[in-house]
Amino acid sequence: MADEPSSDTEPGADAPPAAPQEDTAPAESASWSPPTKHIMAVALVLASLTVLYLSRNVLAVAALAGLIAFLVAPVIRFMHLRLRMPRALALLGSYVAVFIGLLVVGFMMVDGVVGAVSELDVAQAEESLRSTAEDVLESVREFSIAGYTVDLTDAVDPLLEDLRGDDSGSSDSGGKEGESESEKRLQLSSDQIQSLFGGLTSSVSTVGSSILAAFMSGIITVLVAIYLNADSTKFLNSFRRTVPAQHRGDIERLGQRTLAIWRGYVYGQLLNSLMVGVLMWMVLWLIGLPGAFVFALTLGVLNMIPTFGPILAAIPAVLAALALGSTRLDWGNLGFAVLVTILYLVVVQLQANLVAPLITGRAVRLSPATVIIGLLVGVQVGGLVGALLVVPVIATGKEYGRYVIAKLTDGDPFPPRSAAPEPPREPAGSGGATDGAAGGTAADGLVGGA
């Protein structure tokens, strides 16, 4: 029987060297020192500002796409959660439904605009404006103030001659022109024809390029909005994972307040503009202003722009009242224009002080001066889109600034709402955009579940 090898190794015997064991655990990442953290934080801020500067030309498109995604999101949630549709199908169906709805509303608006424009008589408006201007100039040629006679004949008579000169000149020379009209010829040289067609071709090319650029910009904006809606859940989840656990509560509360600001303002302004447009249409139709639908539609659209929107919308209506007069009231054009001006002031003030606080609620709390300055900056930066979005952007920045200041001063960044002092209410004249405070809004109830 063969001897089995002994498992014990005798002292001094040669033994194979033990294989070194590899450490499979990953090395722990070293923490940055406070100066390194500060340097990297500053570098991150500078890099973000650089990206914003380089993309400044597309910020308006991105902002508009975000606004579209924000408005369509409630429809997607309704189809996905209430109707139990797959999310992809709900996303596609929402945009198709919104597109069809916009087409139907657009056709209705075009039909109304065409009908309203057909009521306008340009020749009558021109003659009426000329007659009104003559009456006004005649009334100020010579007048008395406190027993003193003011004579403006030398300044007014040339203006009156200009107004009346076209008619007299055309009537005096009408016979001669009639006699020689058949003998007139329009002769164009080849160079003139080439120049004419060249200018026409250039104009058509410019208009076509503008239409094509606008169409492509619209397509890109809608595509970006669709991707924002599709990836919103992934983006939020990834953002939450990057936030340390001890700060997630603050981030959630800031997100809720931000959502309350944007829901209250955007949805509230849409409903507010719809109501003021319908009300103004009824008022203008009752007093007999030609083209009432067009002017009411203009007010409804421009009312989305705080402060300046209603003012800009009133100008064409007042001019139309001055030129065309009323089809129902036996008033002079000047008096009718004054009436239209007063009605615009009354309707805008009613919706700003009564309707808007109920709809927009406590969406934002900004002073009128802040809104005006913000509008000027928004128009300069983003044009019409900047004017539409600047108020909720400022309100959101104010909420975040309050949070940062509270953290820097070791205060409570989320004090109880009952402890927050209510500011004195000021007369609103900006379409209700500056009324209220950040937080729960009446608009959330009106558009609940959005």
Strands (E), 315-365: none
**Predicted local confidence at residue 432, as pLDDT:** 46
Pairing state of beta strands 142-145 and 148-151? Answer: antiparallel
Query: Three-class SS of residue 143?
Result: strand
Whole-number Cα distances in Å, 446 to 170, 258, 360: 62, 18, 10
Q: Which of 14-28, 43-57, 187-201 has the highest mean pLDDT?
A: 43-57
Least Cα distance to 383 among 115, 58, 137, 151 occurs for: 58
Q: Find the range with the poorest average confidence among 28-37, 103-112, 161-170, 256-265.
A: 161-170
**Predicted local confidence at residue 340, as pLDDT:** 92
pLDDT bin (cut points 50, 70, 90) of residue 173 is very low
- Segments in 26-58 forming alpha helices (H): 34-54
Q: 121 or 110, which is more confident?
A: 110
- Alpha-carbon gap, residue 373 to 371, rounded angstroms: 6
**Predicted local confidence at residue 417, as pLDDT:** 60
Q: 365 or 54, which is more confident?
A: 54
**Predicted local confidence at residue 133, as pLDDT:** 75
By percentage, how much of the chain surpasses pLDDT 70?
Answer: 74
By percentage, how much of the chain surpasses pLDDT 90?
Answer: 4
**Predicted local confidence at residue 341, as pLDDT:** 92
**Token duo for residue 5:** 């090898």
Convert the pLDDT of each residue in 309-364 to its tens digit.
888 889 988 888 888 888 888 888 888 889 999 999 998 888 777 777 776 656 67
**Predicted local confidence at residue 361, as pLDDT:** 57
**Predicted local confidence at residue 450, as pLDDT:** 38
* pLDDT over 60 (residue 10): no
Q: What angle do CA 108, 226, 275 make, to 5 degrees?
A: 35
| Average pLDDT value over all residues in the chain | 76
**Token duo for residue 397:** 């920045």
- Alpha-carbon gap, residue 209 to 204, rounded angstroms: 8
**Predicted local confidence at residue 106, as pLDDT:** 78
> Which residues neighbour 115 within 8 Å (Cβ) at sequence distance 6 or greater?
293
* pLDDT over 50 (residue 107): yes
Q: Find the range with the poorest average confidence among 193-197, 372-376, 425-429.
A: 425-429
Convert the pLDDT of each residue in 274-303 to its tens digit.
888 899 999 999 998 888 888 888 898 888
Q: Find the range with the poorest average confidence among 174-188, 231-245, 259-273, 329-343.
A: 174-188
> Which residues neighbour 240 within 8 Å (Cβ) at sequence distance 6 or greater?
248, 251
